Amino acid sequence: MKEEEKKVLRDVPLNEEESMALIAQMIRNTQRKMERGAGTPILVWGYATVLATLAVWAGVKFTNDPRMEYLWFLIPAIGLPWQLFQKRRPPEVRTYVDKVVSYIWIVMGWSGFIVSCLSFLGAIQATILFLITLMMGQGNVITGLVTRFRPLTIGGIVALLLSFALLHLTDIDLHLLTFALAFVAMEIIPGHILNRRAKKACSQD
């Protein structure tokens, strides 16, 4: 254990240099955990969202049946069972940065869920796909900056730009496909990059 971490455990005040070193160490630990866990969490939710979006798009386009909107529930149907399965795994020691990232996605996740439910019930008239893309893009940018994982930051920025494009797209096909593209940029591509890094790291061990 590093000297700075020992001081924290003993509640010994750190000077500025030691504090910066400790923060840097926490970020490195979080990056290693992200690589060990690879991009699976990002990929699960990313692919679930893209799959549901394409299913809704195909259903509405080829059947013109508004009940196809229920296919959006594919997202929690895929993501939540996996999330519950993950909770059964033995817990790891979490750094402050880990907790920050977790809090970011608790807030973003619940916000997205509540907004989606309100929109589904007709309580929100705003463009729901714009709001979801905007919130998830912000979450990815913040997470990427906190963990210093550039692909996540870049993907989030791309999603933010696409979210504003959604405000001006009136064609339903383009609207849904742009939404799917945003999740490819901010979830699927960074997730595969993480997996590739994890594979490379494991091969070097």
> Quick check: 122 and 153 in contact, CB under 8 A?
no
Q: How many Cβ atoms from other residues are within 10 Å of residue 27's Cβ?
A: 17
Residue 4 has pLDDT above 50, yes or no: no
pLDDT at 148: 84
Tell me whether residue 153 is in a domain. yes
Instruction: Check whether 23 has a pLDDT greater than 70.
Output: no
Residue 16 lies in a domain: no
Domain annotation covers residue 13 = no
Q: How many structural domains are present in the chain?
A: 1
Q: Looking at the domain assignment, is residue 204 inside a domain? A: no
**Residue 19 domain-assigned (yes or no):** no
Tell which wins on pLDDT, 175 or 86. Answer: 175
Residue 120 located in a structural domain? yes
Backbone angles phi, psi at 167, to 5 degrees: -70, -25
Query: Does 12 reside within a domain?
Result: no
Residue numbers of the domain that contains 112: 41-199
In angstroms, the CA 108 to CA 114 distance is 10
Q: Any residues with CB less than 8 A from the CB of 163 and at least 6 apart, and which?
A: 130, 133, 134, 137, 182
pLDDT band, very low/low/confident/very high, at 98 (cuts 50, 70, 90): confident
Q: Taking the C-alpha atoms of 85, 86, 88 and 93 in order, what is their torsion angle to the nearest 10 degrees?
A: 180
pTM score: 0.76
Q: Model confidence over 138-181: pLDDT tens digits?
A: 999 998 998 888 999 999 999 999 999 999 888 989 999 999 99
3-12, 28-37, 135-144, 195-204: which range is least confident on average? 3-12
Residue 33 located in a structural domain: no
